[in-house]
Structure 1
Amino acid sequence: MLDDPELIEMKRKANTQSLKEMAMLLRGGSRLIWIAPSGGRDRPDPTNGEWFLAPFGPYSVDNIKGLLTILAHQVEKEMGEKRVISFHGTNLSVAPEISFSETTAACESPEKAKDAHSKAVYISVNEQYNVPKFAIHDKKGLEASTHKVSLSQPWN
């Protein structure tokens, strides 16, 4: 977001618009949406072409928390952006709850607390993300399960 100072305000407004639209979807119920908590779209590693999770931004994690509590956001302007859609398999993973108070108990400031919480969420999502990745790419199937992440295919 900060790569071009002249676009910061326009990007901020576009993000606000996106958050408002996601909140409307969630209010309607029966919706599953994907949010990139790293503050941008997932991208492949340029060295090997594998997709990876970028570190989560505290601002993005905070926005997601707010969205999940269905906060109202103000919108002033839209910004269009080309999106490339492609087909991929889907993995749904539900991790244990991450307590904000537990992950931030030793933090001395709100900023450090947000950073610590974002890091804890990132570590958990990375664990949930990597197990299915290894199951597919290393051809381990359900044997890729770990003590923290158990894979299953209910239709088999």
Structure 2
Amino acid sequence: MGEKKYKFGLAHDAMREPFDYYAWGCDFFRPAMNMKQSVFLGEDNLKKAMEQLEAGENVVFLANHQSEADPQVVSIAFEEMGFAQLGADLRYVAGHKVTTDALAIPFSMGRNLLCIHSKKHINADPETKGEKSKQNMMTMSSMLDKLKVGGTALWVAPSGGRDRRDVETKEVPLAKFDQKTVDMFRLMGSKSKKPTHFYPMAMVSYELCPPPDTIEAGVGEQRNVRYVPIGVSVGKEVENTGGKESRHLFTDHAMEAVEEDYQTLLKSIEEKAGEQ
């Protein structure tokens, strides 16, 4: 793509016209989703989150991350649960790959993004570490501005990357949430002076577009899209537990909720497959 490659700002708004990149991205992946065997849970929790957003409060979904198609998975899951507009309005905290990889860029253009560099990416090149850290600070400032306005919905994967398959067991364990990341989002919510609510979100999407078994620093990884069922579960709002000395409890509770709902999704998808 060279010089013509689209350049993302710190905060990117979905491009819906003259070409609708959002709808195009959903339409691209939808045929690969086995909807008859897919499972979507937590409609009541999603309804509560929507009511909070409509009241001018903020909502942050703390999710595991399995596939480059996760934004499309979320949108289609929200559509199925009756919250299509929230699926379109949701803003994703995005790492460098989805804004620099030539194949990922068109899909990212259709999403509301906050563009950051993961800790792994920042530390990969000492010469650019300072510049990337500065950009992250500017992105956090932009995010805080949006939270101060209120009615902002964010999706973030606190693990900092996608879940990876265990090559020996062939299972896909969840990558653990990073406590400092969760703490930072809680701090931003507090600084916004607007009520900010956190919901755990479990996702089953690995087989739709599996990532490499090992973490690759560069871009241009091989992709394989498969026809499989997907799963999304929005859990109950995480209680605001854990003071300064025990703030890890909040992250632990969120991670435990995602783990539990993830297993429920896997079991439910398997049961649906057995019925057909």
Shorter-normalised TM-score: what interval? 0.5 to 0.7
Q: Deviations over 1:49-83 (max 9, x none)?
A: 33221111111112343566795xxxxxxxx9637
| Residue 262 of structure 2 corresponds to residue 141 of structure 1 | no
Q: Which residue of 1 aligns with 2:180?
A: 59
**In 2: Cα distance, 1:118 partner to 1:131 partner:** 20
Q: Which residue of 2 aligns with 1:93?
A: 233
**In 1: Cα distance, 2:237 partner to 2:132 partner:** 31
What pairs with 1:19-38 in structure 2 (closer than 5 Å)? 34-38=155-159
CA contact (8 A) 1:36 1:42 kept: no
User: Mind listing any 5+ residue stretches in structure 1 that lack a counterpart?
Assistant: 72-79, 144-156
CA contact (8 A) 1:37 1:56 kept: yes
Q: Which residue of 1 aligns with 2:259?
A: 126
CA contact (8 A) 1:37 1:64 kept: no
Structure showing the higher strand proportion among its residues = 2
**In 2: Cα distance, 1:68 partner to 1:90 partner:** 30
Task: Tell me which amino acid in the other structure corresponds to 1:114.
Answer: R
Instruction: Decide which of 30, 40, 43 is 2:161's aligned counterpart.
Output: 40
**Bigger CA drift: 51-60 or 87-96?**
87-96
Identical aligned pairs, as a percentage? 24
| Residue 249 of structure 2 corresponds to residue 113 of structure 1 | no
Compute the displacement of 1:98 (Å): 1.8
- 123 and 8 in structure 1: CA distance in 2 versus 1, 3 angstrom threshold: farther
Q: CA RMSD in A?
A: 4.3
Instruction: Decide which of 82, 95, 104 is 2:219's aligned counterpart.
Output: 82
- 28 and 120 in structure 1: CA distance in 2 versus 1, 3 angstrom threshold: closer
Equivalent position SS for 1:92 = strand
Task: Tell me which amino acid in the other structure corresponds to 2:219.
Answer: K
- 10 and 129 in structure 1: CA distance in 2 versus 1, 3 angstrom threshold: farther
**In 1: Cα distance, 2:261 partner to 2:235 partner:** 7
TM-score with structure 1 setting the length: 0.53
Q: Which residue of 2 aligns with 1:74?
A: none
Compute the displacement of 1:37 (Å): 1.2
